[in-house]
Structure 1
Amino acid sequence: MLLSILSGFVYNIMNSGFIFFILGLIPLLFIIAFSGLELAIAFIQAQVFVVLSSSYIKDGLDLH
């Protein structure tokens, strides 16, 4: 939700004029960086979920 609000704000800035288009590239880079960070965190969470799930399943099958 926050990224959509910020991207709309950056879009409006970049459509205001040429100098604002150049200045709008800075927040656009931050939006791209935050999106990449969000994807990296999702990937790490998926890995942790898989490792913990497989560990719990293994313990449930081997110890009982």
Structure 2
Amino acid sequence: MPSRLYPEDQKRVDEYLSAPHHQVERKPFNVWLLLAVILGAVVAMGLLARYLSTLVLG
């Protein structure tokens, strides 16, 4: 896709993005870890809701 910026503006953007502090090494995305975190949060909130319902309803 061609850039919609003027060439001098595109050059400034490219220089900005190529700066060392914008080159962060990241681990590959792990879908299973995300799924485990979401599942853990849902289970924890469910357990908390059950506990609070026993306190309220007795």
Which of structures 1 and 2 has the bigger CA Rg? 2
CA distance in 2, matches of 1:34, 1:57: 34
Where in structure 1 are there 5+ consecutive unaligned residues?
1-6, 11-27, 60-64
Q: Structure 1 residue runs of 4+, over 2 Å off?
A: none
**1:33-44 paired onto structure 2 within 5 Å:** 33-44=32-43
TM-score w.r.t. the length of structure 1 is 0.47
**1:15-26 paired onto structure 2 within 5 Å:** none
How many residues of Structure 1 are paired with residues of Structure 2 in the alignment? 34
Say what the alpha-carbon RMSD is for the aligned residues: 1.7
Question: 2:56 — aligned with what?
Answer: 57
Q: Which protein has the bigger helix share?
A: 1
Residue 8 of structure 1: CA displacement?
A: 1.4
Percent identical residues: 6
CA distance in 1, matches of 2:40, 2:49: 14
Structure with the larger RCO, 1 or 2 (CA within 8 Å, 6+ apart)? 1
